[in-house]
Amino acid sequence: MSTSKSFAGVKHIFCPTDLTAKSQKTLMYAMQMAKVLGAKLTAFHSTIDSWLYQTNGSSIEGVRGIQKEIKEEIIEYLGPESTEIDFDLIVERAPNPAAEIVKLARELKADLIVMKARRGILSALHFGSIVERVISNTGCPVMLMPSRFLAERDPAHKELAFQRVLFDYDFSQATDELFHLANSLTRDYAAELHVLSVLEPPAAKEVKLAMLTHGHSSLERAVRNRLCSAIKSEGSSPLTVPTTVEWGAHAEKVLNYAQTHNIDLVCTALPLPSYYFEKVYRIYLGQLLTSTTCPVLVKQCI
């Protein structure tokens, strides 16, 4: 487990957009984050309209026309404040938008990718979707704006504000790396950090109740000690960070906790797809994106 106490924070945000209404909402939220964090923001759009990727939500043709459309929308939304943000826009013909997003994110050394997540067959539940490919290959944390979240909110009337951040801690390397970012966002937004660790119950029915209870207690103590060490490594006191250990179905426990405590941001790491493909894309992350009412920050082990 990492013991680093310093994290430079988010200095560069990368936001792909297909110019649809929800994608443009995502871009506006990325603008809000860039302003709060003092980060540079780079937006990207592919002009190629593909039935597979569904990447072009605009009827405007030509790179200059699309650039003008995006910049006018930003100016209309932010007004004079639009000049306060270090903003760049990349518009190009990309036959494979997912690969281009990964390539540009690496070249730009982006600290965070912000993008929408569709529901249905082309969502993050679907292997081969843009979201799945970006998460699997970029190595960069990705903040996903669920369809339900975008449908219920308008960035023009309510700014993105993280007051309570939930971190789903599973002790993997990706979790430790993501924990640095989550703590940085928590500090920048003056938010309250919650840490949750979900443990799967033993499957063996022949285990005696007394042994099971004793095993639960010992494991919970060990997990809590590890959580306290992780919190201390970020320069925080375990006494000020609500820490919970629960047994049960992973997605269900995370969603229940988020709803009960009015969480604004859920942070979670994903194992390699080859380990447990169904859990990664069709069950765990899929349930989060379908049911949560807040953004989800993810990072996958690569």
Average pLDDT, the chain: 80
257: left (phi over 0), alpha (psi -120 to 50) or beta: alpha
Residue 186 parent element (H or E): helix 173-188
Task: Check residue 188 and give its pLDDT.
Answer: 94
Rounded (10°) angle between helices 97-107 and 130-138: 30
Q: Is 52 a residue whose pLDDT tops 70?
A: no
Task: Check residue 166 and give its pLDDT.
Answer: 97
d(CA 207, CA 211): 7
Closest CA to 184 of 13, 1, 28: 13
d(CA 178, CA 169): 10
118 or 60: which leads in pLDDT: 118
pLDDT band at 114 (very low <50, low <70, confident <90, very high): very high
For residue 121, the 8-state DSSP code is T
Task: Check residue 302 and give its pLDDT.
Answer: 65
Task: Check residue 177 and give its pLDDT.
Answer: 84
Among 7-21, 76-90, 126-140, which stretch is predicted with the lowest mean pLDDT?
76-90
Q: CA torsion 102→106→112→118, rounded to 10°?
A: 0
Q: What's the pTM value of the predicted model, to 2 decimals? A: 0.84
Q: Are the C-beta atoms of residues 156 and 183 closer than 8 Å to each other?
A: no
For residue 282, the 8-state DSSP code is I
pLDDT band at 176 (very low <50, low <70, confident <90, very high): confident
List beta partners, residue 194: 166
d(CA 298, CA 268): 5
Task: Check residue 147 and give its pLDDT.
Answer: 87
Cα distances (angstroms) measured from residue 73 to each of 48, 84, 92, 171: 21, 16, 19, 42
Predicted confidence (pLDDT) per residue in 191-219, tens digit: 999 999 988 765 444 444 444 455 677 88
d(CA 82, CA 80): 5
Rounded (10°) angle between helices 173-188 and 21-37: 70
Predicted confidence (pLDDT) per residue in 218-236, tens digit: 888 888 888 999 999 888 8
Q: Is 126 a residue whose pLDDT tops 90?
A: no
Q: Are the C-beta atoms of residues 157 and 163 closer than 8 Å to each other?
A: no
pLDDT band at 29 (very low <50, low <70, confident <90, very high): very high
All structural domains of the chain, each given as residue ranges with its CATH number in brackets, are 12-152 (3.40.50.620), 164-300 (3.40.50.620)
User: In the chain, what percentage of residues exceed pLDDT 70?
Assistant: 74
Among 168-177, 179-188, 246-255, which stretch is predicted with the lowest mean pLDDT?
168-177
Predicted confidence (pLDDT) per residue in 234-291, tens digit: 888 888 999 999 888 888 899 999 999 999 999 998 866 554 444 444 567 778 888 8
User: In the chain, what percentage of residues exceed pLDDT 90?
Assistant: 37
What letters, b where the CB count within 10 A reaches 16 and e where it falls short, cover 102-111?
A: bebbeebebb
Q: Is 165 a residue whose pLDDT tops 60?
A: yes
For residue 295, the 8-state DSSP code is -
